[in-house]
Amino acid sequence: MAKRSIIPFGPQHPVLPEPVHLDLVLEDETVVGAIPSIGYIHRGLEKLVEKKDFKQYVYVAERVCGICSCGHGMGYCEAVEQVMEIEVPARARYLRTIWMEMSRVHSHLLWLGLLADAMGFESLFMESWRLREKILDMFDATTGGRIIFSVNCVGGTLKDMDRDMLAGICRAADEIEQEIHPVMETFLRDYSVQSRLKGLGVLKKDDAVLLGAVGPMLRASGEAYDVRMLGYEAYGDLDVEPVTAQDGDCYSRCRVRLYEILQSLRLIRQAAEKIPDGEIAVPVKGNPKGEYFARIEQPRGEAIYYVKGNGTKNLDRFRLRTPTTSNIPPMVELLKGCQLADVPLIILTIDPCISCTER
């Protein structure tokens, strides 16, 4: 009979950039259960909405997390704008979309580097992060910041891009697209990578839906759900199609993110070509009264921003349901039946963001 034991995994672990703890129930080397535990970096940021002016709160929302910063600011603004029935100028919608897609490329390249590092493939890690630097340079050139750049405001954006900047973005997108192909080839065809990822941590389509998975984790199981299809910001004017895979394993999740990088680069170019002239923000008068659920597709998946205003400058409630909150329950199910040595890779392939989850 197999010997049953419980071992702690995390909160500090080489593959985890942020703290999360799991109690792994093992029978010999096989995981039969996993109990997640978070709470090491809870900051209570949702509560701050009661003390900050609803316009100031954009800066707090952007600081929920570094990687998802632009999206959090945008999602919060989108929810407030809907409550206040503010018509955001078309140019601002395009600018937000361009920065959002740059954030997606940034996030996926960061994740690919972490994945390569977790597999011990250091040159692939360095190559992924070298490409990521180009995106950070694009942020720097267009916003003055590399990670948290505070470009969103209620009613539009705080910064604009001139023609030279837009042309520079398109050139950088072309360069990344050319240079990413060898990286993609390695992730998709290298024997070592395939042997570590294929057939590992399989999440079937029905399970993915019922366990609440979102983002690349859901799409890698064959469910074509991408919130950008709702057409918010400028996505209604662009060619967006959910990127999917069918096998639901770690390899499929990697594949979906790789192809989403190419899709994002294409969307950046499209948006840069189509962006109309005009204002980047409209004046905001009055205070929000009412409620709204805004949904956006963050790099890690669907995020939901709920705001409830009472007619004063302070909102009654802001709630952020992050993609990782939804992806932890399916991750726990995936761990059941895997080998102890595979736990880090399975956890990594949900691309967990604990800062977002704990807020």
Partner 1 sequence: MTDEKSVIRPVDKAEFLPAVIRLKKDRWRLAQICAVRIENGYEMSYSFCKEYQLVTLRLVTETEEPVPSITQIYPCAFLQENEAAELFGVPIEEVDPDYHHKLYRIDAETPFKEKG
Q: Confirm or reject binding of residue 229 to partner 1 (CB under 8 A).
A: yes
* Residue choice 4, 28, 51, 122 for contact with partner 1 (CB under 8 A): 51
Size, binding site for partner 1 by CB under 8 A:
44
CB of 257 to partner 1, least distance (A): 21
Nearer Cβ to partner 1 (5/37):
37
Cβ 38 to partner 1, closest distance in Å? 7
State which of residues 325, 335, 338, 348 lies at the interface with partner 1 (CB under 8 A): 325
Question: Closest distance between partner 1 and the C-beta of residue 58, in Å?
Answer: 19
Two structure tokens written together for 219:
């799409």
Among 62, 77, 82, 203, binds partner 1 (CB under 8 A): 82
- Using DSSP's 3-state secondary structure scheme, residue 89 falls into coil
Residue from the set 42, 130, 171, 336 that interacts with partner 1 by CB under 8 A: 42
Closest to 154 (Cα-Cα) out of 83, 234, 97: 83
Least distance in Å: CB of 193 to partner 1?
Answer: 30
State the DSSP string of 194-225.
HHHHTTSS---HHHHHHTT--THHHHTTT---
Q: How many Cα atoms occupy the beta-carbon half-sphere of 297 within 13 Å?
A: 27
In the complex with partner 1, the residue whose CB is nearer, 113 or 155, is 155
Contact flag: residue 80 with partner 1 (CB under 8 A): no
Give the residue with the Cβ less far from partner 1, 231 or 337: 231
The answer to whether 208 touches 245, Cβ cutoff 8 Å, is no
Nearest CB to partner 1, comparing residues 107 and 325: 325
State which residue, 108 or 359, has the beta carbon closest to partner 1: 359
Please state the closest distance from residue 167 (CB atom) to partner 1, in A: 28
Task: Name the minimum Å distance from CB 51 to partner 1.
Answer: 8
Cα gap 85→103, rounded to integer Å: 27
Buried/exposed 71-110: b ≥16 CB within 10 Å, e otherwise: bbbbbbbbbbbbbbebebbbbbbbbbbbbbbbbbbbbbbb
Residue 268 near residue 98, CB atoms below 8 Å: yes
Query: d(Cα 95, Cα 173) in Å, to the nearest integer?
Result: 15
Spatial CB neighbours of 81, under 8 Å, sequence gap ≥ 6: 88, 154, 155
Query: Does residue 238 touch partner 1 according to CB under 8 A?
Result: no
**In three state form, how does the secondary structure of 181-201 look?**
HHHHHHHHHCHHHHHHHCCCC
Q: Which one of residues 110, 116, 135, 211 is an interface residue with partner 1 (CB under 8 A)?
A: 211
Task: Give yes or no for residue 326 binding partner 1 (CB under 8 A).
Answer: yes
- Using CB under 8 A, which of 15, 40, 266, 279 touches partner 1? 40
Give the separation between CA 174 and CA 168, rounded to whole angstroms: 10
Length of the chain: 359
Q: How far is the CB of 81 from partner 1 (least distance, A)?
A: 10
Residue nearer to partner 1 on the CB measure, 2 or 35: 35
C-alpha 237/C-alpha 166 separation (Å) is 18
With respect to partner 1, which residue has the nearer C-beta, 108 or 321?
321
> Distance of CA 99 to CAs 68, 315, 328, Å?
11, 26, 27
Residue 317 C-beta: closest distance to partner 1, Å: 5
If one asks whether residue 328 binds partner 1 (CB under 8 A), the answer comes out as yes
The answer to the question of residue 337 lying near partner 1 (CB under 8 A) is: no
- Which residues make up the interface to partner 1 (CB under 8 A)? 35-40, 42, 44, 46-47, 50-51, 82, 206, 209-212, 225, 227, 229-232, 236, 291-295, 302, 304, 306, 308, 316-317, 319, 321, 325-326, 328-330, 358
